[in-house]
Amino acid sequence: MNLLKNNEISKNRWDLLFLKNIFSSPFQSYSFYNLFNSISGLSADVFAIEEAFQIKALCVVTIQKEPGILGFFSRRAIIYGGPIVEPNSELFLDYLLTSINVEIKKKVIYSEIRNLSDYSVFREIYKRNLWQYLPYQNFIVDCADKDKLLQKLSSNRKRQIKKAISNGVKLKEAENITEVIEFYNILKKLYTLKVKKPLLPRNFFEEFFKRDIGKYLLVVFKDSVIGGIMCPIIEGRCIYEYYVAGLDDEYRDLFPSVMATWSAIDYANKNKIPLFDFMGAGNKEEAYGVRDFKARFGGKQIEYGRFLKINNLFLYKLGNLGLKILKLLKKE
């Protein structure tokens, strides 16, 4: 049993594991790892446990921080999707988690695994490695049958979609970088004024467009982009909501955010992708208005949760306090 890192890992063996594994997500692919390392200020490491020339467990770990002085207080490791693990591989996962912690514990204040699969069978292993479970929820929409899909939509969502289309809203795939930037500007405005959380840099969104990882689906009115959604895709399996935004205040009767979400669900149905994954609906122990928005699309509510590991409690609390202060300042 060997630990391998980054260039030590065979891309062919990585792809072989990825293509057949139930825990695979676009964020654990070689393409996403390569994308993250192509952007200045971002980085990712990949760790793998190999035995008898087969990868038994693998994990892409992204390292993120805010620019400037905030960088020191915001150093974090985000693992999107969760590790790829072979069935009955508890020993390999245990070794993988231990190895990751040794490699990154001095680099980051905390680490977070944002699960997109059910890892409950491995929960004791995470606990043994001092990962705290957080009860985050999600919605997954079955997109295979159009009639059933429409039946599960709330009456309000059906009305909004019908009204937007009748008022002239069009849905389309992004065709060029200019359209991607239009979407990014809407997203940046949303994060600055409302979400007030860190957003990946613009060139990350541009590079995503250039690579075969997913699609940008746009909401267009009179030749102007008024909303959109960034969707990593595993063909024949699932489409994911990575980022979504719309000019809802400016176009109230056109429901840009609703139409952006609907565009991904509709795209999945038309392209034989059976599932749409919202990638999160908040911690069930906390009020979260977005959860109600997502629930009206008729998806199945699930709880795969997240895992959190704090490496420096003092800096973690200090960083959270700093973010709260920045949010208050932005309200002024």
Per-residue pLDDT of the chain (332 residues; tens, 9 = 90+): 899 999 999 999 999 999 999 999 999 999 999 999 999 889 999 999 999 999 999 999 999 987 777 777 788 999 999 999 988 889 999 999 999 999 998 899 999 999 999 999 999 999 999 999 999 999 999 999 999 999 999 999 999 999 999 999 999 999 999 999 999 999 999 999 988 888 999 999 999 999 989 999 999 999 999 999 999 999 999 999 999 999 999 999 999 999 999 999 999 999 999 999 999 999 999 988 899 999 999 999 999 999 999 998 888 888 777 666 555 555 54
pTM: 0.93
| Residue 188, both tokens | 């940046």
**What pLDDT is recorded for position 324?**
65
pLDDT at position 332? 46
CB-based contact 303:138 (threshold 8 Å): yes
pLDDT for position 328: 58
Q: Domains in the chain and their CATH numbers?
A: 2-136+304-331 (3.40.630.30), 139-302 (3.40.630.30)
